[in-house]
A and B are shown apart, each in its own frame.
Chain A
């Protein structure tokens, strides 16, 4: 379905709705992913689907119905089901009326035909190149290469009608040597820029460099977090910038905005138009996204809102609604941490004793308000001695406040996109003083 097709479906749906107000989302997706490990492709898949969601509002009450069938009969059933459901909800006094959204323009580079048209052989060639690199070093590897295209249209009975089409491609690999491993990843809306050989080489070099890891004592360490590690850590503070968390008192910054919470070198934006991760210019209510400065030189300036929380807190709507139905409130989805002035190599060179960390694993909150999280290092942890990497280190567990970590931090001068299933961020590397490790492992 093209954007025009989706818009026609959305408008037809609104016409048929008997609710006071109606919002419709029509989406289409085609996702592919090839996984590989130990010389085979263990999973290789493609999936295509459409989706239509109707949010019906009747006398301040909301019901949401979803289906993956855009036939007339399905639409008819959907609008009735959503309206019927709304009748069972209590009236919500804070629910604002739907509004007509302003036009929103996609940033450059969101859609690349080559990605949308990528064939299984394209993905196989990238996987093959990664595997070749690992095998040449006598190692084995596991990872994936994916390509996807998706389109979303949001319309409402107040006149909003916006559409977006985007592509993405990703590659991610872990190379495993005898007693060490290394990790590399790459993301782009253009699959032609995904370089399997380079990714394989980077991960293999890390695995080689971390061979024969030594055990070091837990405690407070100076660490340099490469972008995947910083991204994984920072992802666990994102919800604190939600108007919902802010207003319910569970955010670290619930005590107030315009206060200094971080090192003055910390500046964070929510920026849907960042060139390394261009994305949808409106939210799931069809409201135009703002580029929001969340942290400016260590001072928390803003939180993100949707129409509900903008109304409830009397703030501007920043365009950060999640797909209805959701009880999670608005969320920042396009985080960018501003770079510093020195390269990662320079940060390493100026470290007398510390750890270089490629990646974290299984971070989980330990203490919500104090932003204490725990997690493990994995796939490339290195000892830095006198400004040089001296070898690999066995993996370690940390317990650390994220806000505390970012109270003494210097960022590298180069940003990189990093992602997991639940987030996509643009971040530099970070040098952090007194990062607390609490235990080690035997591997």
Chain B
């Protein structure tokens, strides 16, 4: 569909209604899912959605209106509605806040991929999921096995009243397999890859990288073995976290608290606030000196990788934590200006019908210089944990408790017997300051999170936290089962 002429109409209407600035984001979205559960294709879906969202700025206040009505009358109504809503925002504002974005771009971006998923026949996708699910039934104690594939394609067309015209085609792909073993009074679950599958931007090669069928039997066996495994001990122990769990740790204890809208109180009633207050910038020793966490929205295969964010800001790389010190935030145009900075393109909307807001995007822990196996060598007593099972953190992102699907005892530098129900807890900066080793780039992967929740109405964001396994000293372990 030709959106440029409709966009002109939207922007003209908004301007005629009094908007100082307006932008419009048309999207064609296609979501395909195959999910197999116990031999049955429980979900075989193909959903398409097309619509647009209009942002209008009036007297320093924003309004947003979205619609699927692509007629000329429809876009007129949506533009007028956005301005009327902006006027209502202005009517209660104690001070103006919104400003016209500083830059305009005319550009095009397409997700690089080796094999476009749309060229993979549906029969092949279903067969892969059925095979992986079947292999996960490694014993008769596996009550439920699942395998799934998600293929997402979003075509975006962004136009603004200051001259931006940006076309993007973003392709994201994910897949996973899971086995759930049921015993007496307990359930043990193993998922592969990570805790939710492997999700990246890119094509069918992401599904191939996941190697579901090569790993399905193993995770079924591990789920079964966990039923008879030793309970993870409680106490203060050294801990090694697998890469996907480090990814979750970054997501919850760095990604969310570094969202500048949250820092400024914009999420206070729901997602919460943040301990990373603006006065801590360039001062707070967030982690040990080996901890460097960057936003890189150009990262190959990152779920949030694209050319421009949903405010039309060009993507790039910036620091959140450098050598352990807090150096920045995830920002939008308005929030960045409030602290004297420029946006780092961290604004995303779930899809056309949602208002754009700050998301953590690709937030990556730089790899260390230690081969993975050497993380174990000088641990006298500890636990190695993999694949998240439970995650909870307070509304300032300080007090956390996470649990993993599986653990292994570490004794005198060696990985030992399997442990069930491993959990650990801590306070965010204290915990990151105990990080004394990060595995090298050979163990580093771009772990995607396809279901990050934030905002009201709730929006699902797709983020990546690239990470390698890491070692933490003197961690509180097993508190959930005291």
Contacts and interface: CB of A to CB of B under 8 A. Distances in A.
Contacts of B68: 48-50, 68-69
Interface string B42-56: 111111111101000
Interface residues of A, number: 92
Given A90-B40, A361-B272, A376 B64 contact: no
Contacts of A99: none
A376 B86 contact: no
Given A249-B182, A369-B187, A124 B65 contact: no
Contact of B395 (A65, A86, A362): A362
A94 B46 CA distance: 23
Nearest to A123: B88
Interface in B250-300: 261, 264-270, 272
Question: Which A-B residue pairs are the 6 nearest by beta carbons?
Answer: A39-B94, A120-B88, A327-B42, A142-B268, A66-B47, A325-B43
Contacts of A325: 33, 35, 42-45
B100 interface: no
6 contacts: A31-B457, A33-B456, A128-B92, A131-B94, A250-B182, A399-B482
Interface in B60-94: 61-69, 81-82, 84-89, 91-94
Contacts of A176: 265, 268
A73 interface: no
A40 B390 contact: no
B302 interface: no
A189 interface: no
Contacts of B353: 47, 49
Given A41-B62, A61-B41, A325-B33, 15 more contacts: A39-B94, A41-B93, A44-B63, A88-B123, A128-B92, A144-B269, A146-B456, A250-B144, A254-B182, A361-B395, A367-B481, A370-B185, A370-B186, A399-B480, A421-B458
Interface stretch (A154-162, A406-414, A435-443): A435-443
A392 to B, nearest CB: 16
Nearest to B393: A362
A438 B482 contact: yes
Given A34-B89, A67-B49, A362-B392, A40 B456 contact: no
B61 A41 contact: yes
A127 interface: yes
Nearest to A42: B266
Contacts of B354: 45, 47
A345 interface: no
A419 B43 CA distance: 28
Contacts, number: 275
Between A94, A119, A443, the greatest number of chain B beta carbons within 10 A of the residue's beta carbon is seen for A443
Interface of A: 31-50, 53, 61-69, 81-82, 84-86, 88-90, 92, 94, 119-121, 123-124, 127-128, 131, 140-144, 146, 172-174, 176, 183, 248-250, 254, 324-327, 361-370, 372, 374-376, 378, 395, 397, 399, 421-422, 438-439, 441-443
B457 A64 contact: no
Given A120-B87, A439-B425, A439-B479, A40 B64 contact: no
Interface stretch (B203-211, B361-369, B396-404): B396-404
B441 interface: no
A48 B69 contact: yes
A190 B401 CA distance: 40
Contacts of B49: 49, 66-68
A302 to B, nearest CB: 22
A124 B261 CA distance: 21
A118 B458 CA distance: 21
A44 B88 contact: yes
A394 to B, nearest CB: 10
Contacts of B182: 248-250, 254, 369
A89 B399 CA distance: 46
A124 B92 contact: yes
A53 B353 CA distance: 18
B94 A49 contact: no
A85 B35 CA distance: 13
A325 B3 CA distance: 31
A325 B44 CA distance: 6
A327 B40 CA distance: 10
Contacts of A90: 39-41, 130
A372 B480 contact: yes
Interface in B339-363: 353-355, 357
B421 interface: yes
A67 B47 contact: yes
B162 interface: no
Most chain A CB within 10 A, of B45, B53, B61, B482, is at: B45
Contacts of B85: 32, 34, 44-46, 120
B155 interface: no
A250 B43 CA distance: 20
A142 B269 contact: yes
A183 B272 CA distance: 12
Contact of A47 (B65, B130, B267, B394): B65
A254 B180 CA distance: 15
A443 B396 contact: yes
A174 to B, nearest CB: 4
B65 A46 contact: yes
Interface string B177-189: 0001010011101
A441 B425 CA distance: 12
Contacts of A38: 264-265
Contacts of A439: 399, 401, 425, 479
Contacts of A41: 61-62, 88-89, 92-93
B265 A376 contact: no
